[in-house]
Structure 1
Amino acid sequence: MSVSIAIGINELSKKFLSKVYQSFLILPNFLSMVVVSYLVYAFLHPDYGFINVMTHKFFGADKIFWYTDKTYWPYILVIVNAWKHVGIGAVIYIAAIAGIDPEYYEAAVIDGASKWKQILHITLPTIQPVIIILTILSMGSIFNSDFGLFYQVPQNSGALFPVTDVVDTYVYRSLLVMNNIGMSSAAALVQSVVGFILVIATNYTVRKINKEQALF
């Protein structure tokens, strides 16, 4: 999503609009998850939430008790996480795209290449090393969840634990109930070790495919 948004913004002919879009995309990244949780609550409140009010008003649909129905939360959490973090990722790719020599595009236009072909054969191959490096680094935190996303946004609802309870939130609740510091330390160690192994494995795979694009 970050790559797609970066390419879309780069293709805007009016640079003023691209700056405006970049600002709006970056803004959610600086919001606290507490603030985000209340924004989500404004949409999902069972009686006064925007979604329930609109669906009942225009479609006559029954209200959904979002904070007790676990069906929708795997999708809600993905959407909220994307809204909050995709923008800052797009900025990195926009910076990478800005470093591409314009002469490549000029030559492609002379050869009759469409915008899609320019993206496919110039933009994506040129920023591929950046995509690979960020992918390798992100593998290190694949077992580390965003605590605020899984704890604050679902309002710590017990009915949603089957789909919102992750390692970090489980350890936090266990500490509150059992005061088991050892388990918290063990969980953090496991997350770090698994992340390290995944980074090494991913980098090894990249080296096998293309040695020059590996991180180390």
Structure 2
Amino acid sequence: MLSRSFKRFRQNKMLLLMVLPAAIWFVLFSYLPMAGSVIAFVEYRYDSNGFLSSIWNSKWVGLRNFEFLFQTSDALIITRNTVLYNLAFIVLGLVLAVALAVLLVEIRNRRMSKTYQTAMFMPYFLSWVIVGYFVFSFLSTSKGLLNQLTSWFGLDALNWYAEPKYWPFILVFIYLWKFVGYNSIMYLAAIMGIDGSLYEAAMIDGAGKWKQIVHITLPQLTSLMTILTLLAVGRIFYADFGLFYQVPRDSGLLYSTTNVIDTYVYRGLKTSGEFGMSTAAGLYQSFVGFVLVITSNYIVRKINKDNALF
């Protein structure tokens, strides 16, 4: 058995060498930090020398740190906002990314196609701080573009940063504007890899563009769509901190529709300095995400084994 393993190692040594940097990165930044999850169950102390010494001298409090999330009056609001926003991002992001990729493939002029791809890809590289200022330039009460337009029609200026009811639509729109172009690139690459003879055969049979998309393109993308959706479901209890903190400018009047788990934990950590509470929140998010991925993957395997993530 040992000699067989050594032989396989020698046969694949170049491939293993290529994987080594990524493996080292995952060990250092993904697996070793898992030991820090114990902070979620202790009253972390700062007066000891060194990280391990601080944990060792900290008082064990069990699940008390988790009460920070579950016994607060805001628990239902932040959980609802986090889950519903992520569901909107997953569903709308999937539909729009696939639709955009299909449309880009149909552009025959390569220069125009590259121009559109670049324009849709650029927002992904903008930080949320910059995006927040872009949004503020449109929504500012005094000098915002939208309020200036409404004033031309004799309407009163609207204080967008004091009206929570508009922000679910604003945040979803901003998220899609930033990420749909980036996500469409993966589907565009998958479409480009589809065998062209399938489309030629469909055209010979009299199938139009719509039928080609429905019966060839979408079935070929099903596996990729399923895998990316499963990965997104695993982070359904995580929120993009920059989107929910920088874009609404941390306006307290908007907390009912913009406060999510990540921003709530950040504000709590900034106020109380309790690392145990923030670690408990992160562990809770990771555990729920793990359960959701396993459950979703199990369901997918029951429906179609080939489309499962593992």
Q: TM-score, normalised by structure 1?
A: 0.98
Q: Which runs of 5+ in 2 are unaligned?
A: 1-95
- Deviation string 1:57-109 (CA, Å, 9 cap, x unpaired) is 1x322111001111100110000000011111000000000000111111111
Alignment match of 1:197 (pick from 291, 296, 302): 291
Q: Distance in 2 between matches of 1:29 and 1:147?
A: 15
Aligned length: 215
Match of 2:115 in 1: 20
SS in structure 2 at match of 1:154: coil
* Match of residue 4 from structure 1: 99
**1:153 alignment partner in structure 2:** 247
Please give the residue correspondences for 1:58-207 in structure 2 after superposition, counting only pairs within 5 Å: 59-207=153-301
CA RMSD across the alignment: 0.8
* Offset of residue 213 of structure 1: 1.1
Name the counterpart of 1:53: 148
Question: How much does 1:25 deviate?
Answer: 0.8
Pair 1:212-2:212 in alignment: no
| Greater Rg over alpha carbons, structure | 2
Moved over 4 A (4+): none
Identity among equivalent positions (%) equals 53
> What is the alpha-carbon distance in structure 2 between the residues aligned to residue 130 and residue 26 of structure 1?
20
1:33 equivalenced with 2:128 (yes/no): yes
TM superposition shift of 1:8: 0.8
Which structure 1 residue ranges, 5 or more long, are not aligned? none
**TM-score, length basis structure 2:** 0.68
Cα distance in 2, alignment partners of residues 132 and 88 from structure 1: 17
CA shift digits 1:116-139 (9 cap, x unpaired): 001000100011100001001111
Structure-2 separation of matches of 1:212 and 1:33? 37
